[in-house]
C-alpha cells in the first residue's frame, strides 16, 4: 500500500511525501502505520479520526485533517492523505 501525505495552506501545497507499507496486515492497520509515518516525517502529532474523516476515507480513499483533528496548534490549513496504491 502507498499513501500520499500533503500539507496545504491557503490552497497551496506546502510539502508532500509518499510512504509505503509492504506487510500482509489489514488495510486499517496499514493506514494507521502509514499515517504515523507521515506525521513523523512532518513532525506532527497524530490527528484524531473524526466521523467525517472515516466517511470520506471509506468513500474516496482520501481525507483531510483540519485543526479540529489535532490537539496542538498547526501552522497549515490541513493534512491530506490519499491512497495511491493498494
Q: Could you tell me the residue range of the domain that residue 28 belongs to?
A: 2-85
pLDDT at residue 86, as a whole number: 87
Distance of CA 26 to the CA centre of its chain: 17
Q: What is the per-residue pLDDT across 43-66, written as a single tens digit (0 to 9) for each?
A: 999 999 999 999 999 999 999 999
pLDDT at 67 over 90: yes
Count of structural domains, the chain:
1
DSSP string, 18-68: EEE--SSS-HHHHHHHHHHHHHHHHT-PPPP--HHHHHHHHHHSEEEE-GG
- Residue in the structure block whose three cell numbers are 504515523: 36
Amino acid at each position: 500500500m502507498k499513501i500520499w501525505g500533503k500539507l496545504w495552506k491557503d490552497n497551496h501545497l506546502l510539502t508532500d511525501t509518499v510512504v509505503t507499507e509492504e506487510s500482509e496486515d489489514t488495510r486499517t492497520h496499514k493506514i494507521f502505520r502509514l499515517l504515523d509515518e507521515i506525521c513523523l516525517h512532518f513532525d506532527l502529532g497524530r490527528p484524531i479520526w473524526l466521523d467525517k474523516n472515516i466517511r470520506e476515507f471509506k468513500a474516496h480513499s482520501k481525507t483531510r485533517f483540519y485543526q479540529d483533528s489535532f490537539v496542538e496548534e498547526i501552522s497549515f490549513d490541513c493534512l491530506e492523505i490519499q491512497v495511491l496504491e493498494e
